[in-house]
Amino acid sequence: MKITRESISEAHERIQPYIERTPVLTSASLNELAGCQLYFKCENFQKVGAFKARGATNAALKLSKEEIVKGLATHSSGNHAQAIARAGKMLGVKSYIVMPRTAPEIKKRGVRGYGGEIFECEPTLQAREETLAKVIAKTGAAEIHPFNNYDVVEGQATCAKELFEQAGGLDIVVAPVGGGGLLSGTALAAKFFSPTTVVIAGEPAGSDDAYRSMQSGKIEPAQSNTIADGLLTTLGDKTFPIIYENVKEVITVTDEEIIAAMRLIWERLKIIVETSCAVPFAAVLKEKEKFKGKRVGIILTGGNVDLEKVGKWFA
């Protein structure tokens, strides 16, 4: 693992022309409700509507022309998929995206909008990996894994780096955990750019493999019983060691708690965030005493929502 303070800074410069420096929002009423000072890093306003643009762009730009000539390939539930399709379009090469058939339509439309070719599969990690292997064998495309890739992690680290620049002196930063790309990047950014900041993860209780992995000290398999569709994946062998060493704890939250937190964000901040995106704020609201009086950064990861589903959540 060669991710350093310098390499994250270089990644940030590398991707800067292609990504947004997203705003940090605050809300007096949410601060009062949570009992701490909250700084929401709005990656829902990022290109492709999610932080995934950072890691995918960094990884794609670090490949040589020879490596990418036959295109880019990945598997993803949606936001990384769009980010890779966008990177392919930027670089003038094809992109081949394996997506679970249950992925939100808005994310599939996004992939197609960037000219990506979609291969649907069953919504399991095994099906995703097997389908991707076949696609790569056929096309010769370069794989950019959604999280278990150091260049992707390095790119995701630029999000917390920006947050530290925008809202200095954070006591805690909270990120969600699925495969651990964002969380490990956030942990490294804190280590190198804000070493007094504690990193905590939020995770859906219905897919609590990171929580269990932190207890057992090895990668535990994921279930997938949660509405947080972006957090169904299991930690990878590259992300887990970084998380195990640098993340203080994982707080798990139920789907009801996720929806309640998402509703507060929609109503008070007036912004659209995904279910997965509401998980860290749900964790803060669940264990308020851990955050009491602190300056707390929350990474809002994405805003790609199928609006048809909204009626069900807020009925």
In the complex, the residues that contact a copy of itself under the rule CB under 8 A are 23, 44-45, 49, 106, 263, 266-267, 270-273, 303, 305, 307-308, 310-312, 314-315
Q: Phi/psi of residue 239, each to 5°? A: -85, -35
Provide the CA 27 distance to its chain's centre, in angstroms.
23
Q: Which residues contact 311 (CB under 8 A, 6 or more apart)?
A: none
Q: Is the dihedral of CA 26, 30, 36, 38 positive or negative?
A: negative
Instruction: Provide the minimum distance between the beta carbon of 251 and a copy of itself in the complex, in angstroms, as a whole number.
Output: 25
Query: Which residues partner with 299 through β-bridges?
Result: 41
Instruction: Provide the minimum distance between the beta carbon of 73 and a copy of itself in the complex, in angstroms, as a whole number.
Output: 25
Q: Which residues contact 112 (CB under 8 A, 6 or more apart)?
A: 118
Cβ nearer to a copy of itself, comparing 49 with 202 = 49
Instruction: Provide the minimum distance between the beta carbon of 266 and a copy of itself in the complex, in angstroms, as a whole number.
Output: 6
Alpha-carbon torsion, ordered 17, 95, 78, 181, to 10 deg: -60
Cβ nearer to a copy of itself, comparing 249 with 267 = 267
Give CA–CA dist 214/218, Å, rounded.
7
Cβ nearer to a copy of itself, comparing 7 with 22 = 22
Instruction: Provide the minimum distance between the beta carbon of 70 and a copy of itself in the complex, in angstroms, as a whole number.
Output: 28
Give CA–CA dist 249/231, Å, rounded.
17
Instruction: Provide the minimum distance between the beta carbon of 36 and a copy of itself in the complex, in angstroms, as a whole number.
Output: 20
Cβ nearer to a copy of itself, comparing 248 with 263 = 263
H helices of 25-78, in order, are 28-34, 52-62, 65-68
Look-up of token digits 């993340």:
247
Instruction: Provide the minimum distance between the beta carbon of 34 and a copy of itself in the complex, in angstroms, as a whole number.
Output: 16
Cβ nearer to a copy of itself, comparing 233 with 304 = 304
Cβ nearer to a copy of itself, comparing 214 with 305 = 305
Q: Do the Cβ atoms of 46 and 53 come closer than 8 Å?
A: yes
Cβ nearer to a copy of itself, comparing 84 with 265 = 265
Instruction: Provide the minimum distance between the beta carbon of 46 and a copy of itself in the complex, in angstroms, as a whole number.
Output: 9
Q: Do the Cβ atoms of 224 and 174 come closer than 8 Å?
A: no
Give CA–CA dist 19/86, Å, rounded.
11
